[in-house]
Chains A and B, each alone.
Chain A
């Protein structure tokens, strides 16, 4: 897979806070991080997303100074930080396991970095009180970490990491240990905190919903490489490659070959879904063997075939039988076996409460979607 460089796409914008330029890291013969280039703007909330073992933590540890890159440069405000040890970098990290000091109270944990910075006692007290209020830990200042719940520990770790007002805060799976409810509320707090303090965050996660909710931009990593950097919407609606399309969210992939290509419109023959029409994406090469990707919520179902739109633009209509219905509360997920052989996943919102299961298993239906909703990708 070809890696992307984010640097060129941003030429002309303000000086980045952080520039990662061709950074690589090998462990023995194994390449953990492979030529990653990325710019982070001041005040940005950036998420690093990728499957387990793809090198996210390693990249973060290089930014914090715990690992030395084998190649490339890391520039913080234009300065190469290669030779700067962790304790001299204006960067703080929130560790995956929180790494709270077990022998110190909540208060002393939060104040730890401030004491090292040589702040006055009164100043430290004021700052700690402010942080304790910010992460809502009032009344727990004297407790030891082991006397706290998981969510409270996580908030102590967060307060400790932001205490020194680092220009860049690195968070390694900050919410991984929390349950769904707590995670949702903490996500909102995290975002609010970042706005209030005006900090720059890089968050590592393998939870895509988390990345989508939190981040201004998302960098997707695979096998040590950065494969796409985009806003959440771009990432979801215009993935750069088949791998990204399949990794981010749910998607139907239909392989086919282009038969005609005219006026921004492609026609394809596919193995499992017959003839399809798709909108030609900009900057599309001249490959003929491609795949068409359609998100489940972009497909609609009806009992009778819908009429063609009068403008003459074809709507893709595929006949099939409902094979499986999954009720998920806010939406239902249908699996439709197409007559052509392929299988489509379709997601429909349950907009009305007393809406009897419109499409039952075994029912003949027509699945239809607009050519604009087709993502055409290299195979």
Chain B
């Protein structure tokens, strides 16, 4: 009768380890969220529950403008990244085998591991060389370059699990090549594209480094704005903004993983998320 007891001990250890790990990850966030409801003027002193910092945020024109910029940059760059990333994935899995295809595949992954400072700096140099005025579009383009490879990776792995004969079957049943793609392949990789879009959206939303290299006056994103506020001392309002951002990111991530799960259930293997 010793085996079950040892199993219990193991599972108690597992639970403890899990709790510790989760606490390490999420305790700071929980504290931040709690303090976003702090009534006190001081960040570190608890003064009772209140929504005053949320109200303050929604009355702060500059902050709201930055938030709006961030959302617009994230939405536009995620959409561009979804389109370009899907096209890249299609070219790499479906195209004729061309010389250097493996090299191209590898090059697609490089931005995933490239330090953001380098990406930001090189983009800045590019924009300066091209004489582009820095602002909304330069940030958006920069975020697109950063995030499209994430989309490509997700879509590529989904495409790999789809049988080519499905499109052939569609053509056999009267679809031209484009129609066959739209009627069969697109619905199958759709959830992967959606997951990629949401990942790109969150990546863009919380990027500080690349944005600060490529943005210009008047189009500061929310992270840039917060960062400059915090440098002058942390105001409790920042807690409220951060809590809102965490909420937005968590929502997109959960939706993205649900989408991936759905795409996996529709046959073949799921995209890694």
Binding site for B on A (CB under 8 A): 64-66, 85-87, 91-93, 95, 97, 99-103, 112-113, 116-117, 145-146, 160, 164
B71 at the interface (CB under 8 A from A): no
**In whole angstroms, how far apart are the Cα atoms of A102 and B171 in the complex?**
16
Query: Which chain A positions have C-beta within 8 A of B165?
Result: 95, 97, 99
Q: Is B188's CB under 8 angstroms from A112's CB? A: no
Query: Which chain B positions have C-beta within 8 A of A91?
Result: 172
- Stretch from B127-135, B173-181, B210-218, B220-228 forming part of the interface with A: B173-181
With CB as the reference atom, state the residue of chain B lying closest to A118: B174
Known: A95-B165, A99-B165, A102-B266. A86 touches B172 (CB 8 A): yes
Query: Which chain B positions have C-beta within 8 A of A117?
Result: 174
A159 nearest CB across to chain B (Å): 12
Known: A101-B184, A103-B188. A95 touches B176 (CB 8 A): no
B108 at the interface (CB under 8 A from A): no
Known: A86-B171, A87-B171. A99 touches B166 (CB 8 A): yes
Q: Is B267's CB under 8 angstroms from A164's CB? A: no
B270 nearest CB across to chain A (Å): 13
Closest 9 CB pairs between A and B? A102-B267, A116-B174, A113-B173, A99-B169, A99-B165, A86-B171, A103-B187, A87-B171, A87-B174
B259 nearest CB across to chain A (Å): 14
With CB as the reference atom, state the residue of chain B lying closest to A102: B267
**In whole angstroms, how far apart are the Cα atoms of A97 and B164 in the complex?**
11
**In whole angstroms, how far apart are the Cα atoms of A117 and B174 in the complex?**
7
- From A85, A99, A117, name the one whose CB has the most chain B CB atoms within 10 angstroms: A99
With CB as the reference atom, state the residue of chain A lying closest to B169: A99
Q: Is A85's CB under 8 angstroms from B169's CB? A: no
Query: Which chain B positions have C-beta within 8 A of A95?
Result: 165, 168-169
Known: A66-B168, A102-B188, A102-B266. A87 touches B175 (CB 8 A): yes
**In whole angstroms, how far apart are the Cα atoms of A91 and B172 in the complex?**
8
Q: Is A85's CB under 8 angstroms from B188's CB? A: no
B249 at the interface (CB under 8 A from A): no
CB contacts under 8 Å to A, within B127-182, are: 163, 165-166, 168-177, 179-180
Pairs A–B under 8 Å by Cβ, sample size 8? A66-B171, A87-B171, A95-B168, A99-B168, A100-B169, A116-B173, A160-B173, A164-B174
**In whole angstroms, how far apart are the Cα atoms of A352 and B73 in the complex?**
87
CB contacts under 8 Å to A, within B27-52, are: none
With CB as the reference atom, state the residue of chain B lying closest to A163: B173
Binding site for A on B (CB under 8 A): 163, 165-166, 168-177, 179-180, 183-184, 187-188, 266-268
Q: Is B171's CB under 8 angstroms from A85's CB? A: yes
Query: Which chain B positions have C-beta within 8 A of A113?
Result: 173-174
Q: Is A92's CB under 8 angstroms from B172's CB? A: yes
Query: Which chain A positions have C-beta within 8 A of B169?
Result: 93, 95, 99-101
**In whole angstroms, how far apart are the Cα atoms of A113 and B170 in the complex?**
8
Q: Is B166's CB under 8 angstroms from A87's CB? A: no
Query: Which chain B positions have C-beta within 8 A of A116?
Result: 173-175, 179
Query: Which chain A positions have C-beta within 8 A of B172?
Result: 64, 86-87, 91-93
**In whole angstroms, how far apart are the Cα atoms of A146 and B188 in the complex?**
14
Q: Is A112's CB under 8 angstroms from B170's CB? A: yes
With CB as the reference atom, state the residue of chain A lying closest to B168: A66
A48 nearest CB across to chain B (Å): 18
Query: Which chain B positions have C-beta within 8 A of A93?
Result: 169, 172
Query: Which chain B positions have C-beta within 8 A of A66?
Result: 168, 171
Known: A66-B168, A97-B163, A97-B165. A102 touches B174 (CB 8 A): no
Query: Which chain A positions have C-beta within 8 A of B175?
Result: 87, 116
Q: Is A99's CB under 8 angstroms from B174's CB? A: no
B206 nearest CB across to chain A (Å): 33
Query: Which chain B positions have C-beta within 8 A of A97?
Result: 163, 165
Query: Which chain A positions have C-beta within 8 A of B187?
Result: 103
- From B168, B174, B176, B183, name the one whose CB has the most chain A CB atoms within 10 angstroms: B174
With CB as the reference atom, state the residue of chain B lying closest to A112: B173
**In whole angstroms, how far apart are the Cα atoms of A146 and B266 in the complex?**
9
**In whole angstroms, how far apart are the Cα atoms of A95 and B163 in the complex?**
12
4 additional A-B pairs beyond A112-B173, A116-B175, beta carbons within 8 Å, are: A85-B171, A86-B168, A112-B183, A146-B267
Query: Which chain A positions have C-beta within 8 A of B171?
Result: 65-66, 85-87
B184 nearest CB across to chain A (Å): 6
B175 nearest CB across to chain A (Å): 6
A147 nearest CB across to chain B (Å): 11
**In whole angstroms, how far apart are the Cα atoms of A122 and B173 in the complex?**
19
**In whole angstroms, how far apart are the Cα atoms of A65 and B180 in the complex?**
15
- From B172, B184, B267, name the one whose CB has the most chain A CB atoms within 10 angstroms: B172
Query: Which chain B positions have C-beta within 8 A of A87?
Result: 171-176, 180
**In whole angstroms, how far apart are the Cα atoms of A87 and B187 in the complex?**
20
